[in-house]
């Protein structure tokens, strides 16, 4: 009977443990429109990134604390909440350093909990003069630079200085917060309490997860506040859908999208919007280029290659023809269809040197048609130039005209590299 009772107790304990570590629940989502779908997909994309890099290999209790804190703090925090979270995190970081026993990887700078905390609190309360703070700053820098100064006396001095400087930084934050007339709380009254709370919980994994979740929620919410269009033209996200997507990716819910499907959906939408914007603004460049090239290929001396590249031989050299492995020295002038010169080694008075494959596709092709000493006029379709990229003076979909003179083949790139290595 006792054995049965023990087994039953053990089963209850195991079930209780399982209940404690059960995953956080997914958010219930209804996507009412395109904005909701894109926002949710973006959230899942971010949530997968967070899960992969912050929750990977963490236990379920850690993940639960992180997700719970994210869920609670993904919103507009009031000034008191922001202040308390900052001081709380500071206290936890100090406590974590104390737990490790040394500062910033320097095992010779051991931390003294009593001395360090005492002076942080004194600094927070403004018990050091500006002159003392300056002295602590100079002292701390000197002691950090010279690792031979690590006697018990020096270590106490370092902890005093380190504590005073950190406490003074919090004091400055307190004063800045107090000056904000919109704040309806006394930051000095809560600073010590929150600092001690963070300090006390240092080393607790679930508390660390809570602070991490708070921080990530604040950062992502702040990003959406500053950039609600998610860098997509004419788009304003639904922040609630972003939040739901992040949470559901972190808990592994795939009811609407898998994380990979969400990322593909979001990227395709953003790419299509970008292309539509470029087409609306610069599609006329493509049309002008096509019309120019169609007429130009009928001109005397103009040769059109299979790729659509056009060139006219001004002077045919008698030297070797470069290969894809070669570096070359050239003089050139580049123009837009309207005659605007956007770049010219001739005007600079200095030839350019580069590998045959280190340039736009139109250049790579024509260079391998030019014997050394040649001069060609080259007409490059936008798809063999910069395509939809905005290069300043060269706008998307621009057809380019170059006068290129191949001065010299400098040799095989690989052989030159080997010569350098030798």
Among candidate residues 49, 97, 292, 360, the one labeled active-site is 360
Structural tokens at position 358:
């280190």
- For the question of residue 401 being annotated catalytic, the response is no
- For the question of residue 360 being annotated catalytic, the response is yes
Among candidate residues 74, 265, 402, 404, the one labeled active-site is 402
| Whole-Å CA distances, 212 to 100, 201, 403 | 19, 14, 58
Phi first, then psi: give them for residue 183, nearest 5 degrees: -75, 130
Query: 60: helix, coil or strand?
Result: helix
- For the question of residue 292 being annotated catalytic, the response is no
Buried b (16+ CB within 10 A) or exposed e, 382-421: bbbbbeeeeeeebbbbbbbbbbbbbbebeeebeeeeeeee
CA 343/CA 411 separation, integer angstroms? 25
- For the question of residue 342 being annotated catalytic, the response is yes
- For the question of residue 140 being annotated catalytic, the response is no
Among candidate residues 92, 266, 386, 397, the one labeled active-site is 386
Among candidate residues 128, 332, 376, 397, the one labeled active-site is 332
CB count within 10 Å of CB 354 equals 15
Strands 375-380 and 310-315, sheet pairing = antiparallel
- For the question of residue 402 being annotated catalytic, the response is yes
DSSP 26: P
CA 208/CA 202 separation, integer angstroms? 8
Structural tokens at position 95:
């406590």
Among candidate residues 342, 354, 403, 412, the one labeled active-site is 342
Contact 398, 382 (CB under 8 A): yes
Among candidate residues 235, 240, 282, 343, the one labeled active-site is 343
Catalytic residues: 332, 342-343, 360, 386, 402
């Amino acid at each position: 009977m006792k054995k049965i009772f023990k087994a039953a107790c053990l089963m209850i304990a195991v079930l209780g443990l399982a209940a404690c570590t059960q995953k956080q629940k997914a958010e219930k989502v209804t996507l009412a429109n395109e904005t909701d779908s894109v926002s949710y997909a973006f959230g899942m994309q971010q949530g997968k990134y967070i899960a992969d890099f912050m929750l990977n290999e963490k236990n379920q209790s850690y993940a639960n604390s992180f997700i719970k804190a994210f869920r609670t703090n993904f919103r507009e925090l009031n000034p008191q909440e922001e202040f308390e979270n900052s001081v709380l995190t500071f206290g936890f970081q100090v406590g974590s350093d104390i737990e490790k026993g040394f500062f910033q990887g320097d095992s010779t700078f051991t931390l003294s909990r009593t001395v360090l905390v005492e002076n942080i609190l004194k600094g927070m309360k403004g018990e050091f003069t500006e002159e003392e703070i300056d002295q602590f700053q100079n002292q701390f820098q000197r002691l950090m630079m010279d690792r031979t100064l690590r006697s018990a006396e020096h270590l106490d001095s370092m902890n005093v200085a380190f504590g005073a400087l950190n406490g003074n930084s919090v004091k400055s934050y307190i004063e800045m917060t107090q000056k904000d007339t919109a704040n309806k709380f006394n930051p000095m009254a809560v600073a010590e309490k929150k600092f001690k709370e963070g300090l006390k919980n240092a080393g607790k994994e679930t508390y660390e997860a809570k602070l991490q979740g708070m921080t990530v929620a604040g950062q992502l919410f702040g990003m959406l506040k500053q950039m609600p269009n998610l860098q997509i033209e004419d788009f304003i996200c639904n922040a609630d859908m972003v939040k739901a997507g992040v949470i559901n990716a972190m808990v592994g819910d795939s009811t609407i999208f898998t994380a990979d499907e969400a990322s593909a959906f979001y990227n395709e939408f953003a790419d299509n919007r970008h292309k539509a914007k470029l087409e609306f603004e610069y599609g006329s460049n493509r049309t002008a280029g096509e019309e120019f090239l169609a007429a130009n290929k009928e001109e005397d001396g103009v040769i059109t290659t299979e790729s659509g590249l056009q060139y006219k031989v001004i002077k045919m050299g008698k030297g070797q023809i470069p290969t894809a492995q070669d570096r070359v020295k050239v003089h050139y002038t580049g123009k837009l269809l309207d005659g605007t010169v956007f770049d010219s080694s001739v005007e600079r008075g200095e030839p350019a040197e580069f590998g045959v494959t280190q340039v736009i596709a139109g250049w790579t092709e024509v260079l391998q048609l030019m014997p050394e000493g040649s001069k060609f006029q080259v007409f490059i379709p936008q798809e063999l130039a910069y395509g939809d990229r905005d290069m300043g003076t060269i706008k998307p979909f621009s057809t380019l005209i170059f006068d290129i003179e191949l001065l010299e083949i400098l040799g095989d790139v690989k052989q030159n590299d080997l010569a350098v290595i030798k």
